[in-house]
């Protein structure tokens, strides 16, 4: 009866909770599709031949990252919203562990992709417009992160006198555009790393909540670490909002919003366990 009354009292405070939560999940799933469309379009200007495993993750890092996080979010939702998690069957626990391990592997794989994308965007050489414009066939201009336009005689003449060629690709960029894209690529890497740390802290927190080793001091320390990491992620979202791609800003904001629900579920577990102790 304690469990029933606790849950009823908790959810009565937020009658809109489930609707907003699952709407957020739906929008995040749509973002996976949007990232795939954006990165698939960029593929025309980068790796046009058969992709190696490393090239694949460079091109589709955001798609793989977002899809893996989406699956992981659903797993966290299951683990944090089920109060009596230790009572779950062994097969369900094993299935959750396998899916979670697969997601972590994919997320780390995507992190490597962001890293190599950063190396690529810094591997540049100077090129003159006078040398470039007669050779516009198969050349592209970088206009934003993962966004290109094909060069032709009519638009090549509008370019600044000196451009930067990116790595060995037939891709050039104006210096200010290249600098902005380099900052955004750094942001991708930092954002991905911060989320990996967030999920590591959440795993630790869930373990402690399900064990006898949790204490108020440890939980408070974890809270401070999470606030610091979420602050980094919020700063990244704000930067994307002013200087980056709208899809990146929208996705970063949605993920922060989605993890509010995970945190609420964890707070619910903490309150429920405290209520259990008081009832004994």
pLDDT value of position 25: 85
Contact 129, 149 (CB under 8 A): no
Rounded CA separation 29/66 (Å): 8
**The pLDDT value given to residue 84:** 52
SS (H, E, C) the chain: CHHHHHHHHHHHCCCCHHHHHHHHHHHHHHHHHHHHHHHHHHHCCCCCCCCCHHHHHHHCHHHHHHHHHHHHHHHHHHHHHCCCHHHCCHHHHHHHHHHHHHHHHHHHHHHHHHHHHHHHHHCEEEEEHHHHHHHCCCCEEEEECCEEEECCHHHHCCCCCEEEEECCCCEEECHHHHHHHHHHHHHHHHHHHHHHHHHHHHHHHHHHHCCCCCCHHHHHHHHHHHHHHHHHHHHHHHHHHHHCCHHHHHHHHHHHHHHHHHHHHHHHHHHHHHHHHHHC
pLDDT < 50 stretches in the chain: 1-13, 83, 272-280
Tally of domains within the chain: 1
Q: pLDDT tens for residues 92-126?
A: 777 778 888 888 988 998 899 899 989 999 999 99
Query: Around Cβ 212, how many Cβ atoms within 10 Å?
Result: 6
Domain membership of residue 269 as a residue range? 2-279
**Cα–Cα distance, 248 to 268 (Å, whole number):** 31
CB 12 within 8 A of CB 246: no
Distance of alpha carbon 13 from alpha carbon 249, whole angstroms: 30
CA torsion through residues 199, 202, 204, 210, sign: negative
Distance CA 188, CA 57 (A): 14
């Amino acid at each position: 009866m304690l469990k029933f009354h606790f849950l009823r009292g908790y959810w009565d405070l937020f009658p809109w909770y489930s609707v907003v939560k699952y709407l957020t999940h739906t929008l995040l799933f749509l973002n996976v599709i949007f990232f795939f469309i954006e990165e698939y379009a960029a593929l025309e200007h980068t790796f046009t031949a058969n992709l190696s495993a490393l090239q694949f993750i460079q091109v589709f890092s955001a798609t793989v990252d977002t899809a893996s996080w989406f699956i992981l979010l659903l797993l966290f939702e299951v683990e944090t919203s089920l109060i009596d998690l230790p009572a779950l069957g062994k097969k369900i626990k094993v299935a959750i562990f396998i899916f979670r391990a697969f997601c972590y592997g994919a997320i780390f794989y995507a992190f490597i992709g962001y890293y190599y994308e950063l190396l690529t965007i810094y591997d540049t050489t100077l090129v003159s417009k006078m040398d470039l414009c007669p050779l516009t066939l198969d050349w592209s201009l970088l206009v934003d992160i993962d966004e290109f336009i094909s060069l032709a005689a009519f638009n090549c003449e509008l370019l600044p006198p000196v451009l930067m060629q990116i790595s060995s690709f037939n891709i050039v960029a104006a210096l200010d555009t290249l600098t902005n894209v380099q900052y955004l690529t750094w942001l991708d890497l930092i954002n991905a790393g911060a989320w990996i740390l967030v999920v590591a802290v959440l795993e630790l927190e869930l373990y402690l909540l399900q064990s006898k080793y949790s204490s108020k001091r440890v939980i408070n320390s974890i809270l401070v670490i999470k606030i610091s990491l979420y602050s980094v992620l919020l700063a990244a979202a704000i930067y994307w909002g002013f200087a980056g791609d709208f899809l990146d800003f929208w996705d970063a904001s949605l993920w922060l919003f989605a993890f509010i629900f995970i945190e609420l579920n964890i707070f619910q577990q903490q309150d429920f366990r405290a209520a259990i102790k008081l009832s004994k």
